[in-house]
Structure formats: structure tokens, C-alpha cells
A and B are shown apart, each in its own frame.
Chain A
Amino acid sequence: MSLPAANLLRSQVEARIPSAFATYRRPELKTILTGISPIDDLHGGVPIGALTEICGSNIASSGKTSLLVSLLANASQEHFCALVDASDAFDPAPADATGMNLSRLLWVRCGKNKSKLKPLEQAFKVADILLQSGGFGLIIVDLGSIAERLVRGIPLSSWFRFSRVVEKQSTALVFIEQQPHATSCAGLVFRMTTDAATFSGRVITKLNLEAEVVRAREKKPMQSARELFSLKTLWA
């Protein structure tokens, strides 16, 4: 079919069905900066209205907790934040030292009572309640110290439900895990690894880290992007 004929056909179809050839463009998501410039340069921060996974090893140092603290510190300047701590692993001291507005952080420490629910189930239920209540700009669910086999057992429908619920809210939902599990439900997946620590004399002063964007819904086609950076210790 020649081009004029195709254009004529298109105009005739559009006259009857105006949106026949319209393409759905997903609105560009706003982001919350992580406060670590190399990571922000890599992707522009954590998307609001999407599910983000930050993964890293539990046995070896990976930098996922430092990223969590930095993200909370940055987000708490403008938003109310919630941290659902499945294994009660959050340390408020470095968070306070980084300048985090701790009064804007709701910290939920799971697994501290003799409940019938396991910490993982508690964390998911709490995240659900927080999403329903609304008003939080950032909700982080830390499953980093939960056994990998338990997190793997979470049905895909749960991840899907979270991604659909958060899609309609101005909330960034972040999961800290050892491995990514939300598959296509995640809008962004970071994998964190550590390189080596820098010692100044006998004191650790710096840890060299690597962040890799494994998956990003908004920037396709996404090739695996890596960035090296380092974080100083509190006393350095």
C-alpha cells in the first residue's frame, strides 16, 4: 500500500474512531533521590508509585542497608516514611548522624512478640495496612535478614497486588531482599555488592561498593548498568 493511500485510510479510520491509533503512554514517575549521587545518576532515584527491590547478600557486606539509611534520610526531609523491619535490624544511630528527620519515620519492629504470625507475614500485613492508610511518601519493607527460602515462597500474586496498589498512590514502596522476587511487578531492581574496604592504619574508613540496575521499567531497553562508589564510616 502506498503512503498516501495509507494516510487516507488512517484519516478515515480516525474520523470514525478518534483514538484508534493512539498509544498509551505511561505517565513518567516522580522519584525520591537516594542521596548517593552515583546511584541517582544511574537511574534518578527510587520511583514513586512503583515497587522497587534492593538486593544484596546477607552474609557478605553489600551496601543495601547503607542505601536504605541514605534513602530514608533523604526522603524524610520531604515525606513521612515508614520502615517495616522484619528482623529488627535497623540501627537509628547512623540514621541520626546522617541528618535523618527521625520524627518523620514510623519504625515497625516485627517479630518481637509471641504472635502466631511469623515476622515475614507480619511485615507483609503491616505493609498492606500502611499502604491502605496512605499519607506515607516512602514505605520500606526490610526482608534482608529473612531466610531466602521463606521470601521465595511468597506468591507472585502478593507482589502483583502490591505493585497495583502502589501504582495509584504517591508512595514509593521499597523491598530490601537478598534476591529479587517480584519479577515484572517491580519497577526498579538494584543489586548491591561490595568490593573492598579501605583501612586507614588499623581502622576501616571506607567501603567500596557497586550498584547494578538489574531491571528498570521506565528506561527500556535496559542494559545492566553498574556504578562503583564508596561510603565512609561514621568515624572517618
Chain B
Amino acid sequence: MFACLVAPDFPVQATCRMEQENTRQTLKQSPIAILEGPANLSRVVATNGAARSAGIQIGMTKLQVEACGGVFLRKRSLANEETAQAALLDWGRFFSPCAESTCPGTVIIDLLGTEKLFGSPQNTADKIVMQGTKFGFALNVGVAANPDTAMYAARGYSGITIIPQGLEAKRLAPLSVSILPVSPEMLEILDSWGIHTLQSFAALPPIALTERIGQEGLQLQRLACGEIYRLLVPAELNGDLIESYEFEDPIETLESLTFILNRLIQQLCIRLVSQSLATNQLEISLGLEVRQLETGKISEPYTRAWKLPFPIQDGRVLFRLACLDLEKSAFSAPIKQIAVKVTPVKPRSVQHGLFAPISPETEQLEITLARIRGLVGSTDENGIACVGSPMVLDSHKPDSFAVLPFSSETKNRNSTQVPASVLALRIFRPALEAAVELTQERPHCLSIRHKRFHVLAASGPWRNSGHWWDVSAWSCDEWDIAVKTWEGIGYYRIYLDKIRRQWFVEGIFD
């Protein structure tokens, strides 16, 4: 058996999909017309049932529609339709791995072998329709023994239509002949013959039909009888999931952006969950409107990507992370378009341990770290991260370290070494410039920030140099000195930078 998912008035549904559920229900009852074309020449390309009842027809101009009054007008967005089609395909894949993206607004799936998971075809169709609202669709579902019959049933009847094998011709009989893929010329010919329904078309003698309109006519007649069995062409799995939205008018406030962003991320997470996947990479691209200074340029791109240390499915975490970053950003122009991309990966499987230390909650930790980064910044002037776990680099250069991303899923240190207490150095970053008076080539007096200290004892010089072959070369003579201060004795590490010919205080033994 095959099931066909059809989103009737697809351009309308694709446009309204990002609206909230209650708004979408309100819009469903209201007449909506989708316009396409330049602002002064835009024409209606799609309508919903309420609009058709109000007399709105395809091809009407914007002025004609406005004259009718009470009709919601929306601009057509091909980007929105593409993402809606991808979402519809994902919803089909939730029920069967063999899903064909037949045309915009139509997906056909093979139900063979899914009975044990979802029950009878009726149950499966019920689930498809009921839960399809999560994806923002009001779906018609047709179930039949061959893909084309299922498609015509879904297109021709609203709700769920199940056609048992052998009754295809009978159930398709009342449908209009225009539902078949016929050219306008052929439709005109059939109309002139008085053929309006599939029943009358199926009743034509096949040989006479072939003589008049060729093999194409015979093929169409077999379709009308539900006699064509073809193989599905499963859609290829794309690497990334993308949801995008094109604003009718460019927006300037963050509130309007976050509202749509939340909807996009939630939709992506629903799609991920439906395929039992998670993501560890999120990318947001914003299309900014460019003032008409440079011709030929549509919009400035703004892209921001997050690489998460573990895969997650929680849309709230992703949304919060994105919001924290967007709050910091200042955009040079209004936002015209937004696209969110996630990379699907397998969900995380963790074996928890009774004796594992209490650790920060992994999902919450990412938000915590993002909030902290918002306060203290991401990196310092040398490009080293301000928030993370320190790592000592394998170098003799003083104060050489890196800061790695912090994760709550760390392993115990391999060595069984018991921590030993040693005298630590409190570092001055950057090192303090100092003046040192020498007596017999040993420090005698130290001046820091216009304060002069008498050196009681000095240990050194300890010569240290490296990387002489590149710009990061260093060469210094280090001294450990004891100086008398008004609060007691201070043990400092000072060094003479031989390249810059300047004394510095590296830190204090504290």
C-alpha cells in the first residue's frame, strides 16, 4: 500500500506555516491570496477555500483583490515553499524510509512493512493527519495500492481516503478529469467531447481513444482507472536540515526576529525528533537589506555558527543560545530573510554512574557558558578564549597556555598522582613594566608604577629563549627577587626582555 500526503493550497500553507497555531487557525477560516510578481504588477497565484468562496480567482491583480475587501494578501516566497516541502518530506519519512517528493505539496510513501509500527493503513493515515499539525500542515491523505491512485485520492477528496485494491476505478470515478496531468489543449478536446469526470473518461473505448489522441490518451485512461503501478523514486537524504523564512517587509526589531527564529528552531527540532536524530551544529544566516548604493547586490549576509560539544534535540536550548548571541549583535540594516541550518547526527547515549561526581547539567551548561561569554567576552586580544578549561602548552615560553571548551563530560585524570602543594605564582597579565637598578650585574632596586623597592635577595639570572626563527621569538633573563614592601616581604619574578630591552615583572610568588 502507498500513502500520499497532500497539503492543499500548498503556497498558502507554506506561507502561513510559521504563524502560531491559533493565528494559523484564524487564517484558515479567512480568505488568503498569495501574490507573485513586481509590486505594481503582482497577480494572484494561489488562494485558499475561503478566498475562492469570496470570488478570488487565480490571475487576478492585486487591485482587483483589494476591491473585494477582507482578503489577507501575502507575497509568495519560494524559499518558504522549499522548506515547507522539506518538512513535509521529513514528516513522510517518519512513517516510511521510502518517501518520494512528488511535487510541491505532495509526498508519497510506501507503507509496506509499517503495519507493526503504526497499525493498519487507516491508523497510519489518522496519525499522519493528526500530528501533521505539529509541522504546520493541514493534510489530505490518500491510501491505495498504487502511488498514483493514492495521489489522486488525496488531491480529489479532503481528509482521509482509503481505496481498497480493485476498487480504484470506482472510487476515482467522480473526480474531475482536470486532476490528471493533461495539457490545456487536451483538456479542451476532452471538454469538447463532453468528458468531465474520470468515470466518463475511463468509459471511452481504448482503441478509438488511441487513434484520436495517441498513446498519451491511453496512459491517462489507465491512470483514471487506477491501473498503473510504478516504482517510487525515494528522495535522497540531504546532509543538513534547513528552515528559512522571508519577511514580507524587512524587520528592524529583535522581538520580531526572535519570534520567527523560535518557530524555525522548533520546526527543525520536530523534524530531528521525527527522524530520531539530534544536532551538534547550528548555523543562522540573516539576509540584510542593502540600501540601494550598490546595484546588483541583493542583501548582505550575516552568518553565525555554533558547534555544540554534544548532540541535543531541545529547541529551547538552541533558541536561547542563538538569542544570547543576537542580543549582542548590532545589524547595519533591516533583516530581510532568515535561514537556520542544523546538521543531523545520532543522539547522545550516556551511561550515568552512581559514583560519578555531580556535574553541571549538560544542556544548561551551554547556556550558562554563553551567558558568561556575553559578560566577559569570547576571546582576549591574543585570541585565547576567556571561558573554558586551561591547558598548559608544551613550550618553554613563559605563561604559554590555551583555553579549551569546557565540558561536563570529562574523564578522570589518568595518573594516580596525589595533588601536591607547591608555591604558586600570581601572574600579572600583561607583565608590568619595571625599572631595575643593577649593582654588579644583580638587581639592587626595583621600581614599579613609581614605587621603589629595595631588593633584599636575588636569584638568577635564568636564561630562557626560543622561536628565534620567527616573529614569536623570546629571549629573557629571569630573576627571582625578594623585595621589602610596607606590608612585608614580597617575592617577585622579574625578567629582562632582551629583544625589547625592557624589564618586566611577571608575577609574585603568593
Where the two chains meet, the residues of A that have a C-beta atom closer than 8 Å to any C-beta of B are 35-36, 56-57, 59-66, 68-70, 73-74, 77-80, 88-113, 115, 117, 122, 125-126, 129-130, 132-137, 144-145, 170, 193-194, 196-197, 199, 202-204, 206-207, 231-234
Contacts and interface: CB of A to CB of B under 8 A. Distances in A.
Nearest to A60: B488
Contact of B376 (A99, A115, A207): A115
A130 B491 CA distance: 33
Nearest to A123: B376
Nearest to B506: A91
22 contacts: A60-B488, A61-B490, A61-B509, A65-B424, A65-B425, A69-B424, A73-B421, A74-B419, A88-B429, A92-B391, A93-B392, A98-B420, A99-B415, A102-B392, A103-B410, A109-B376, A113-B380, A115-B376, A133-B360, A134-B361, A199-B457, A234-B422
A236 to B, nearest CB: 8
Nearest to B404: A103
A135 B490 contact: no
B476 to A, nearest CB: 16
Given A61-B508, A93-B392, A133-B364, A66 B421 contact: yes
Contact of B488 (A95, A137, A194): A194
Contact residues of B: prevailing secondary structure = mixed
B357 A80 contact: yes
A66 B357 contact: no
Contacts of A64: 510
B390 A105 contact: yes
A66 B387 contact: no
B491 A204 contact: yes
Contacts of B411: 103
Given A80-B408, A194-B488, 14 more contacts: A59-B486, A60-B489, A60-B490, A65-B424, A73-B419, A79-B357, A80-B357, A91-B507, A100-B419, A109-B386, A113-B376, A196-B489, A197-B489, A197-B509
A193 B421 CA distance: 17
Indicate the member of B391, B401, B421, B459 with the most A CB atoms within 10 Å.
B421
A181 B130 CA distance: 62
A92 B429 CA distance: 13
Given A91-B426, A122-B375, A126-B372, A59 B490 contact: yes
A231 B423 CA distance: 5
Interface of B: 357-361, 364-365, 368-369, 371-372, 375-381, 386-392, 399, 401, 403-404, 406-408, 410-413, 415, 417-429, 457, 459-460, 480, 482, 485-491, 507-510
Nearest to A106: B406
A113 B385 CA distance: 11
A19 B391 CA distance: 55
A125 B373 CA distance: 12
A96 B392 contact: yes
Contacts of B372: 108, 126, 129-130
B419 A80 contact: no
Contacts of B357: 78-80, 104, 137
A38 to B, nearest CB: 10
Contact of A135 (B365, B429, B459, B491): B365
A134 B419 CA distance: 25
A108 B315 CA distance: 27
B387 A107 contact: yes
B389 A112 contact: no
B389 A35 contact: no
Given A129-B371, A207-B491, A137 B510 contact: no
Given A63-B510, A98-B419, A207-B423, A133 B368 contact: yes
A137 B360 CA distance: 10
Q: Which A-B residue pairs are the 8 nearest by beta carbons?
A: A113-B377, A135-B360, A60-B488, A73-B419, A92-B390, A65-B510, A112-B380, A103-B410
Contacts of A103: 389, 404, 407, 410-411, 413
A170 B386 CA distance: 26
Contact of B359 (A68, A80, A202): A80
B381 A135 contact: no
A68 B419 CA distance: 13
B419 A79 contact: no
Contact of A68 (B417, B423, B424, B460): B424
Contacts of A65: 424-426, 510
A99 B426 contact: no
A89 B428 contact: yes
A94 B424 contact: yes
A79 B359 CA distance: 7
Nearest to B486: A59
A61 B425 CA distance: 10
Contact of A126 (B376, B485, B486, B509): B376
A78 B410 CA distance: 12
A110 B386 CA distance: 7
Contact of B361 (A69, A117, A126, A135): A135
A48 to B, nearest CB: 11
Contacts of B401: 92-93
A57 B487 contact: yes
Contact of B459 (A117, A122, A204): A204
Contact of B487 (A59, A92, A206): A59
A145 B426 contact: yes
Given A97-B422, A99-B418, A103-B410, A60 B485 contact: yes
Contacts of A98: 419-422
Contacts of B423: 66, 94, 206-207, 231-234
Contact of A90 (B358, B386, B390, B482): B390
Indicate the member of B365, B376, B379, B386 with the most A CB atoms within 10 Å.
B376
Given A80-B408, A93-B392, A133-B360, A66 B482 contact: no
Nearest to A136: B360
B347 to A, nearest CB: 22
B181 to A, nearest CB: 59
Nearest to A229: B421
B389 A105 contact: yes
Indicate the member of B375, B390, B406, B490 with the most A CB atoms within 10 Å.
B390
Contacts of A202: 459-460
Contacts of A117: 375
Contacts of B426: 65, 89, 91, 144-145
Contacts of A68: 424
B365 A133 contact: yes
Contact of A35 (B378, B399, B419, B485): B419
A69 B420 CA distance: 10
Nearest to B508: A61
